[in-house]
Homo-oligomer: A and B are copies of this chain.
Amino acid sequence: MATLHTVNKTGQPLELCLRALNAGDNVLLLEEGVYALYEASDVLSDLLKHVAVYVLEADVLARGMTNRDNLDIGMVDYQGFVELTEANDKVVSWF
């Protein structure tokens, strides 16, 4: 019963997502959620011990972000987003 969590902003959406995660869940950062790469790289480092984290490529490139701190994060396109929703039993959106 794993869940995909999408996070579209840092701030409240990211914070709430963190306390709703079960081991084995997946997190996908999209839209302004990709700013977590800079604003919350410590939080993401910690998080990666328990769950897999992905970023949506189009949103990362649009904003000029890079995986500057070499976090162990997967980059997916919309097709990859679809695959994440297939691989998990349900989707929870945090916005």
Question: Which residue numbers of A lie inside 8 Å of B, CB to CB?
Answer: 11-12
Interchain nearest-CB distance for A33 vs B (Å): 16
Interchain nearest-CB distance for A1 vs B (Å): 33
Q: Which 2 A-B pairs have the closest CB atoms?
A: A11-B11, A11-B12
Q: Which residues of B contact A11 (CB under 8 A)?
A: 11-12
Residue of B nearest to A12 (CB): B11
Q: Which residues of B contact A12 (CB under 8 A)?
A: 11
Interchain nearest-CB distance for A90 vs B (Å): 29
Interchain nearest-CB distance for A15 vs B (Å): 11
Q: How far is the CA of A11 from the CA of B11 in the complex (A)?
A: 9
